[in-house]
Structure 1
Amino acid sequence: MPSEETRTLTSTTVTDPAAQDTAEADASPTRAWRRRLLVVAIVLAALNLRPAITSLGALLEEVRDGLGMSGSVAGLLTSVPPLCFAVFGVTAPRLARRFGAGAVVCAGMAAITAGLLIRPYAGGTPGFLAASALALMGIAVSNVLMPVIVKRWFPDRVGSMTGLYSMALACGTAVAAAATVPLTDALGGDWQPGLTVWAALAAAAVLPWLPFVRNGERTGAARGASARGAAGREAAGRGASAREAAEQGAPAREAADRDASARGASAEAGAGTAGAERPALRITRSRTAWALAVFFGLQATAAYITMGWVAQIFRDAGVAAGTAGVLLAVIMAMGIPLAFVIPRVATRLPSQGPIVLVLGVCGLAGYAGLYFAPAGGAWLWALLLGVSNCAFPLALTMVGMRARTGSGVAQLSAFAQSTGYLISIPGPLLVGVLYQHSGGWGLPIALMAALMVPQMLVGVLAGRDRTVEDEAAAR
């Protein structure tokens, strides 16, 4: 079975003149330099997509005490990330069409910087939530547009680039979880500087996106127009050649063949123009899109419960605060190697269902360990939950595989992530409510384990070898 990267490359080079023009442009020094810079920009952006969340998880008890939060309000705080991702993520494709994907991601990095600088000193819970929402808005639009940028700039390396992006995301998540408590202690023990320090990393991520703000999207459009113009000129040339051959006495069949070739090239150019004006894909008609959205939502539920509450579970079991932060970091760090391996393996399989099942079984085992012996086997449970947490890079990879075109990926990414994050909103909040009213972690952990079962079922459905374009057209 050929890899997904191979299938993508073959289809674009054979049938898409615009892609051929892009491939030729890739050889130019300027284009090559921009691609290398874009790799750096993607990595730095990915590093900033979770520290705003995991740094808070490591200091949640201190923030609760400092702001006077109850367990239910803290649960609301841990539900803010998926809420913001759902609300703001759906706007990302529209913003990208108007301003360009590079400009939107650059603005997203700036919003993360501002939110992280403001929230520790906003004064009170409402200000803290509002500043958190600003940072999460930047994360939301970047989340949605990363698969789009990878598909557009690296169509022959979707698996590899998704793996690199996911690995950087996992690295940023893990480092923030592990380093926040030691940094807070080094800065005097106050939680406010310990949260503010992560704004520096976000500010660094703004810089490499600046060259893609002004003309990144217009350059791509110009290449498409150039390709269509070249196809039209080629058609005209072939038509003239056919007429010349006929005038010079060439066999009628040869002349007819050349004229037919000219008409085919002309039609291909017209198809490229028509493709640019195609109506939006009716993504809600696709069962795979819905399965992928639900899978994304359930894995996001597990991820945000883990980032928001697992460190507290370990602390309540008698684990020291610094060690609990390191355990959370271990969970996130498992994604560094696996986020690079899983997308590459997934693109080589006709169905991603087996990977979904393996990750789900690891999650169930980890939750069982948290229920029966949270402190005794803490490191093993952290490893198992870390493997289960790699459903996120798998979901991103499936977004790129379940659509054939860049516009299809953009719509599927926005739909799956926005719908998925809406689904994930109640989970962290419900965990906080159950924890406060039951006085322990038994019921919350049982809820986490119960949600893993439907995640496995819809993940198998989302992993089937089909595309949303075909399903939407067939209904």
Structure 2
Amino acid sequence: MINRNRLFLFALILAAFNLRPGITSVSPVLHGITKELGMSSASASLLTSIPLLCFGFCSLFAGRLANRYQSEKIITFFIACIGIATFLRFFSNSSIYLLITALFIGAGIGIVSPLLSGFIKSYFPEKAASMIGIYSTSMVVGASISIGLTTPLQRLLNDSWKNGLAFWSIFALFALPLWFIVTKYAHHHTNKASQKRRASLPLKNKEAWLLTSFVGLVTLLFYCFAAWLPAIVEEKGGTSAFGGLIGTISMLAQLPATLLLPSLLRVIPSRRFWITFFTLSVMIGLSLLCFTNLTPVVSSICLGIGGGGLVSLTLLLPIDKTASSIEASTWSAMTQAIGYMIGAVGPFIIGFLHDYLGSFVPALYLLITLGLIIILLGWKLTKPANVLEEVISVK
């Protein structure tokens, strides 16, 4: 039993490593891609936007696939899809080809991500909180490694961005053998009662739509600077390697906010306070990039802390707003699916504005304004049902 739990833990970590590099590895070499393939900034931004769209859309079907087939087999299959699509970037010779690989990577992430949450709930029910922390941390580490090492790998591997991007299929290569073993050791139970009680998405609930809008704007803000931060640093005079380093620092700065949020909420329970705090952190980071010549390292730390905290809150709020696990699942499915589709528009908008105006500065103005809207939405969303939470938070 101990060996099985260790096996499942390592399988979870390696699976999580696969869920971000296909998206985040693009940003450090985006300038080289646009130059070689003749892509505009707007079309290059689709390399981030398309996976996010597929993530949101395909996550709606993950539960149906798990109900029909063994979820561990579905996870294994789509990790393989992510790995193959990533490796095929080695043969990229056109923008259309590269965008197709992005589509398949996004679809794989959209299926695997929600099923891994179910995997945790199924096999680690008594350690769910700590396992979700490990899962989230593993995703951040995978994203950080891919951002920081893609440019050095490009130079090492025949000075080719294609090789730098395709290299990250190695995560799938390590994960798949473990997941083939997991499918043999996994229990094959299906909860028929839960299948019969499938709850529908809360499409007629105004508060669910408010939460979905909040999640969408947070996702949009987060992936805008995740996709374009290295390019913004290059525009300010940094090298591509330095831009990749700044992106890595931003990703690593998410870890404290992600890991410490439960403890922070015990000290100050008010969701309003932390929504405001983390959003202001992002806005400060964007303002430093826009209005000062201070080293981008400071900006990246502010962006990482704020972004990591906000994304963690988007996972927590559906639980706060619902009374049962089934209801929480449907709210989470709706907020993540539609929210990520909203978020997918962000990188494209930034690329379009850069093409049209020739600078990232107007886009930074837009993102700072978006931060104010997020704070207003967050306050509206977390209007307390009772005064006790606000009293505690003030004390």
Is the shorter-chain TM-score for this pair beyond 0.5, marking a shared fold? yes
Q: CA deviation at 1:437?
A: 1.0
Does residue 294 of structure 2 align to residue 376 of structure 1? yes
Distance 1:94-1:462 versus aligned 2 partners, 3 A rule: farther
Contact persistence 1:48–1:201 (CA under 8 A) = yes
Q: Which residue of 2 aligns with 1:57?
A: 27
Question: Which of residues 307, 313, 323 in structure 2 aligns to 1:389?
Answer: 307
Structure of larger gyration radius: 1
- Cα deviation, 1:70-89, whole Å, max 9, x if unaligned, reads 12211333321221112212
The CA distance in 2 between the partners of 1:152 and 1:401, in whole Å, is: 21
Distance 1:404-1:43 versus aligned 2 partners, 3 A rule: farther
Question: Which of residues 334, 345, 358 in structure 2 aligns to 1:415?
Answer: 334
Question: Which of residues 452, 458, 467 in structure 1 aligns to 2:371?
Answer: 452
- Cα deviation, 1:192-222, whole Å, max 9, x if unaligned, reads 111111001122122332244367463354x
Q: CA deviation at 1:288?
A: 4.3
Local SS of the residue matching 1:49: coil
Does residue 39 of structure 2 align to residue 69 of structure 1? yes
Contact persistence 2:26–2:47 (CA under 8 A) = no
Contact persistence 1:351–1:464 (CA under 8 A) = no
Distance 1:442-1:187 versus aligned 2 partners, 3 A rule: same
Distance 1:276-1:134 versus aligned 2 partners, 3 A rule: closer
Does residue 177 of structure 2 align to residue 207 of structure 1? yes
The CA distance in 1 between the partners of 2:156 and 2:372, in whole Å, is: 42
Alignment of 1:236-275 (within 5 A): none
Question: Which of residues 334, 337, 342 in structure 1 aligns to 2:261?
Answer: 342
- Cα deviation, 1:26-74, whole Å, max 9, x if unaligned, reads xxx3xx5433322222221222211111211000011111211112211
Mean Cα deviation higher: 435-444 or 401-410: 401-410
| TM-score in terms of structure 1 length | 0.75
Alignment of 1:23-34 (within 5 A): 29=1, 32-34=2-4
The CA distance in 2 between the partners of 1:284 and 1:216, in whole Å, is: 35
The CA distance in 2 between the partners of 1:292 and 1:187, in whole Å, is: 44
Q: Which residue of 2 aligns with 1:165?
A: 135
Local SS of the residue matching 2:189: helix
Local SS of the residue matching 1:69: coil
Contact persistence 2:47–2:102 (CA under 8 A) = no
The CA distance in 2 between the partners of 1:451 and 1:347, in whole Å, is: 28
Contact persistence 2:53–2:341 (CA under 8 A) = yes
Q: Which residue of 2 aligns with 1:292?
A: 211
Alignment of 1:1-400 (within 5 A): 29=1, 32-213=2-183, 216=186, 218-219=188-189, 221=191, 277-343=196-262, 345-346=264-265, 351-373=270-292, 375-390=293-308, 391-400=310-319
Local SS of the residue matching 1:440: coil
| TM-score in terms of structure 2 length | 0.89
Give 2:297's aligned amino acid: W
Q: CA deviation at 1:329?
A: 0.5
The CA distance in 2 between the partners of 1:123 and 1:405, in whole Å, is: 50
- Cα deviation, 1:388-432, whole Å, max 9, x if unaligned, reads 111223322334554455544442332111110121122111111
Q: Which residue of 1 aligns with 2:392?
A: none
Give 1:457's aligned amino acid: L
Question: Which of residues 320, 342, 347 in structure 2 aligns to 1:428?
Answer: 347
- Cα deviation, 1:319-368, whole Å, max 9, x if unaligned, reads 11111110010000112233222245448875533221111010111111
Contact persistence 1:85–1:137 (CA under 8 A) = yes
Unaligned runs of 5+ in 1: 1-28, 226-272, 467-475
Q: Which residue of 2 aligns with 1:240?
A: none
Give 2:34's aligned amino acid: R
Distance 1:395-1:346 versus aligned 2 partners, 3 A rule: farther
Q: Which residue of 2 aligns with 1:256?
A: none
The alignment's C-alpha RMSD in Å is: 2.5
The CA distance in 1 between the partners of 2:362 and 2:257, in whole Å, is: 30
Q: Which residue of 2 aligns with 1:24?
A: none
Distance 1:108-1:403 versus aligned 2 partners, 3 A rule: farther
The CA distance in 2 between the partners of 1:153 and 1:405, in whole Å, is: 20
Give 1:414's aligned amino acid: A
Q: CA deviation at 1:180?
A: 0.9
Local SS of the residue matching 2:315: helix
Distance 1:338-1:124 versus aligned 2 partners, 3 A rule: same
The CA distance in 1 between the partners of 2:195 and 2:111, in whole Å, is: 23
Give 2:302's aligned amino acid: L
Local SS of the residue matching 2:25: helix
The CA distance in 1 between the partners of 2:125 and 2:29, in whole Å, is: 40
